């Protein structure tokens, strides 16, 4: 298995795969990229649609997230020369290739959320002084 024995923080310099995984998780593993990608699984969308569809995201954070996803080649930004100018965002083939991976993560999360939450509660109850 790829992950067996790989510590991402200490082994990245000696194991390019670990560095790749770490970089990927840093880029896509945040709160907003996955939610934005999820909104783009269908048709191309405009900025305001994405802003309204991703609860809690600020306009600035949405703009930053879209730029990062575009830079990574996961989304394409299309500008239409209309008045006013219209801009749409869509997943690229590379971005679409990420969807099965995100579906596996979402499925795992849904199946194990209650176990993770129960574990957190047990840990918090026995480590209350270190959490405060």
How far is it, in rounded angstroms, from Cα 65 to Cα 129? Answer: 36
pLDDT band at 66 (very low <50, low <70, confident <90, very high): very high
Q: How many angstroms separate the CA atoms of 103 and 130, rounded?
A: 35
CATH number of 8-131: 1.10.10.10
CA distance 127 to 132: 9
Where do the structural domains in the chain lie, given as residue ranges?
8-131
pLDDT digits (tens, 9 = 90+) for 1-23: 555 555 555 555 667 778 888 88
- Given a cut of 60, whether residue 50 has pLDDT beyond it is yes
- Distances in Å between the Cα of 52 and the Cα atoms of 4, 32, 58, 124, 131 are 41, 13, 10, 35, 34
Query: What is the biggest distance separating any 2 CA atoms in the chain, rounded to whole angstroms?
Result: 61
């Amino acid at each position: 298995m790829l992950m067996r024995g790989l510590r991402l923080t200490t082994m990245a310099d000696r194991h390019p795969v670990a560095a790749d995984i770490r970089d990927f998780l840093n880029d896509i593993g945040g709160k907003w990229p996955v939610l934005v990608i999820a909104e783009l699984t269908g048709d191309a969308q405009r900025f305001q649609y994405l802003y309204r569809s991703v609860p809690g995201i600020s306009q600035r954070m949405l703009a930053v997230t879209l730029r990062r996803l575009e830079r990574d080649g996961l989304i394409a930004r299309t500008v239409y020369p209309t008045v006013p100018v219209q801009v749409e965002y869509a997943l690229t083939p590379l971005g679409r290739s990420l969807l099965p991976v995100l579906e596996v993560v979402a499925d795992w999360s849904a199946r194990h959320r209650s176990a993770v939450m129960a574990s957190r509660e047990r840990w918090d109850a026995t480590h209350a002084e270190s959490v405060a």
